[in-house]
Chain A
Amino acid sequence: MSALAVKSLHKIFGSRADEAVRRLAGGAPRAEALAGLPATAAVIDATFEVRPGEIFVVMGLSGSGKSTLIRMLNGLLRPTAGSVRIDGVEVTSLKPAALRRLRRDKVSMVFQHFALMPHRTVLENAGYALEVAGLPKAQRRERAMDALRMVGLTEWADKLPHDLSGGMRQRVGLARALAAGTDILLMDEAFSALDPLIRREIQDQLLELQAELGKTIVFITHDLNEAMRLGDRIAVMRDGRIVQIGTAEEILTDPANDYVAQFVADVDRTRILTAASVMEKPHHVLDVNAGPRVAARALRESQTSVVYVTGPGKRFLGTVTEDEVLRALRENRSNLDGYVSGERVRTVTEDTAVADLFADCAESQHPVAVLDDRGRLTGVIPRITLLSALASATPDEAPHPPVPPPADPATGPAEAELVGGEEIPA
């Protein structure tokens, strides 16, 4: 069951709204359909469902109707037509008192310009929803403190909002919504007013909190990169209509129309593509119990200077070089134990964004090792691979950047599988 279901939702400002809805039904652009009518259509026929625990991003430029849309979800604006259901309850037909109860118990909201009350302390702001709910003061304080702890602001509890930086203020806004304890969070351009660096930081924090709390989040933004970073699914809005709903990858690879295609053209693909989607199969992986002779042969065959070594359960241990293999041979060892070094090669996880690989690639003496969540070696990224991935991450190219054929033709098919088969994580 969906946590939130929206069905052919319309919002028309101005008079003769019914006529406007009727005219828009044909799907004509709003300017054309409403010509001569004293009405403007902010949201036209929006239909979508948000699953529990999902971050659903609504993305569009200003004037696309996304802020109007989110305000209809908790009844701050009354829809002209259509339905909004939260946990099966029809929001649009609720009486004021019932609507207030719904807002208290089910949906809270985070605002673009934080909307903190300047005359109340950070703690009082964080506990606002609980005050509205009529909780006794001690309990209010405790839960508000818990929420502030989640966003790391307990030390600021007794300060006024103007003592805080923008990023901190929005964390208070977030704490206020979290303290309410509702399952659904509406976030209206919540991070748009923040500096890019702060924005990334708070996005990370939101993702961390979300991993822990599993809220159902509707997130409005005009920033495609933000949408791609946060959204499990993304709805793209244009001129009041939702033109496409899908995962970040679906929207990147299969834009519904020219508008979406143009929109995603500017996306920084290095943030969407992950290590898993550009890595290559490692040429020579040896078990740590393999003898030095095997290692020497592997080095000779591949004409490289290192071999990647794994231990029990295929966990990545490190690398051995020619010198070490020779030493092991001289010392007549039966395996490579004691010769493996973890120093020479950097490791990254499969879901590391390509944009975050540069430093590792630059500092790693040999191709970066890519590990899965159990620490097993799943691939390597030589510098040249990263560079080619970058070169092909231009909008006009195929969505899966083709990795240049590796030196060893035998690894071709396996590598293609690796590149194509990875889901892009949110």
Chain B
Amino acid sequence: MSLRESPLDAALPRVPLGEWTESAVDWATRTLGPVFDAVASVVEALVSPLDQMLNGVPAVAVVAVLAALGWWLRGWRFGLGAAVGLGLVAGMPYWEETMSTLAQVLVASVLALLLAIPLGVLVAENRRASALARPVLDLMQTMPAFVYLIPAIFFFGIGTVPGVLATLVFSMPPGVRLTELGLRQVDKEIVQAAESFGAPPWMVLLRTKLPLALPTIMTGVNQVIMLALSMVVIAGMVGAGGLGDVIMFSLSQVEVGSGFEGGIAVVVLAVVLDRLTDSVGDRFPSARAQRHAREAA
């Protein structure tokens, strides 16, 4: 029996949420066109030079720089591992796509963090903003990633820009949440101490709360980058280029070989980015101090 045949169910009002969304998007496309154009050109201006730069230098140079960074941040073992992994990717036919993906991930993450961290601060300092932001963040995180692509195409057409912007929206929430969490977790007594000596709110925030929240915020940065990487592949569906394209093509042609190569490239990129950003946070004096404090306790 179909749902609508029950007389009881027939009484339910029909909610044309889909239609409303469509008309809202229509309206936005028509009236906000110039804004979207401006946004698009900014994103474009950020991604393509970075893409060209990463693809302009020899692959060996990129591998060497990332491996050296890994060595410095985490020790020679990781440096060596990064060199081997990235070397493997460089030996496969998709180095160019890998670098495009890296460029997109970096731009999307940096933009996401530029929005997420100040938003996180606002949400941590303001109870009302927090109550407002929570459901929005929940929505952003639980909405299937593909759905972001649809309005992105509407507003920005096909290409890198909608891919990067959909990625930005998708990867932002953990940045906001972990910034908020980090700030809220700062020892109340230390904040009171700062206030008790007459420090104004901005000073308490910049010199006490943020430094102490930094390890948690860095976890947020790490999460944002990882989410951005996962989304950039999906963004291949809107022709964003990079590894997403490779994987989409392999999927449609059932090409196991190239699909696997693209997948491995994503994995290597993910591991390198994850470990690198993970260890950046530990290098701050406040993180070291807090770790020592925990160990001592």
Contacts and interface: CB of A to CB of B under 8 A. Distances in A.
Interface stretch (B5-13, B58-66, B247-255, B286-294): B286-294
B103 to A, nearest CB: 34
B196 interface: yes
A74 B290 CA distance: 28
Nearest to A118: B289
Contact of B196 (A108, A113, A133, A161): A108
B53 interface: no
Interface of A is mostly: mixed
Contacts of A105: 198
Interface string A165-177: 0000000000010
Interface in B149-206: 187, 189-190, 192-200, 203
Interface string B269-297: 00000000000000011100110110010
A119 B285 contact: yes
A333 B164 CA distance: 110
A100 B292 CA distance: 32
Contacts of A101: 198
A316 interface: no
A74 B289 contact: no
Contacts of A104: 197-198
Interface in A109-127: 109, 111-113, 115-119
Nearest to B294: A162
A119 B212 contact: yes
B239 interface: no
B29 interface: no
Given A100-B200, A132-B198, A162 B296 contact: yes
A162 B289 contact: yes
Which of A105, A118, A161 has the most C-beta atoms of chain B within 10 angstroms of its own C-beta?
Answer: A118
B211 A115 contact: no
B289 A161 contact: yes
A1 B259 CA distance: 85
A119 B211 contact: yes
B130 interface: no
Interface residues of A, number: 30
B208 interface: yes
A357 B108 CA distance: 75
Interface string A384-412: 00000000000000000000000000000
A109 B189 CA distance: 11
B191 to A, nearest CB: 8
A111 B290 CA distance: 18
A173 to B, nearest CB: 8
Nearest to A129: B197
A162 B203 CA distance: 23
A180 interface: yes
Contact of B292 (A109, A112, A162, A186): A162
A116 B200 CA distance: 18
B166 to A, nearest CB: 37
Contact of A132 (B187, B189, B199, B286): B199
Given A118-B293, A119-B211, A119-B285, A132 B190 contact: no
Nearest to B201: A96
A128 B194 contact: yes
Given A112-B189, A115-B187, A118-B293, A76 B286 contact: no
B293 to A, nearest CB: 5
Nearest to B292: A162
B193 A115 contact: yes
A132 B197 CA distance: 7
B125 to A, nearest CB: 15
Nearest to A177: B197
B198 A76 contact: no
Contacts of B190: 115-117
Nearest to A74: B196
B223 to A, nearest CB: 23
Interface in A76-103: 76, 100-103
A100 B194 CA distance: 11
Interface centre among A71, A107, A129 (most CB of B within 10 A): A129
B288 to A, nearest CB: 8
A109 B193 contact: yes
Contacts of A129: 197-198
Contact of B197 (A112, A119, A128, A161): A128
Contacts of A162: 289, 292-293, 296
A121 to B, nearest CB: 10
Contact of B192 (A107, A111, A118): A111
Contacts of A176: 197
A161 B296 CA distance: 12
Nearest to B290: A118
Given A108-B197, A119-B285, A113 B293 contact: no
A101 B199 CA distance: 9
B117 to A, nearest CB: 18
Contacts of A112: 189
A119 B283 CA distance: 12
User: 6 closest A-B pairs (Cβ-Cβ)?
Assistant: A119-B286, A104-B198, A118-B289, A115-B193, A103-B198, A109-B196
Given A119-B211, A161-B293, 12 more contacts: A71-B192, A76-B195, A105-B198, A108-B196, A113-B189, A116-B193, A117-B208, A119-B286, A119-B289, A128-B194, A132-B199, A132-B203
Interface of A: 71, 74, 76, 100-105, 107-109, 111-113, 115-119, 128-129, 132-133, 160-162, 176, 180, 186
20 contacts: A71-B192, A103-B195, A105-B198, A109-B192, A111-B192, A111-B193, A115-B187, A115-B189, A115-B193, A117-B190, A117-B193, A117-B212, A118-B212, A118-B292, A128-B197, A129-B197, A132-B199, A160-B285, A162-B292, A180-B197
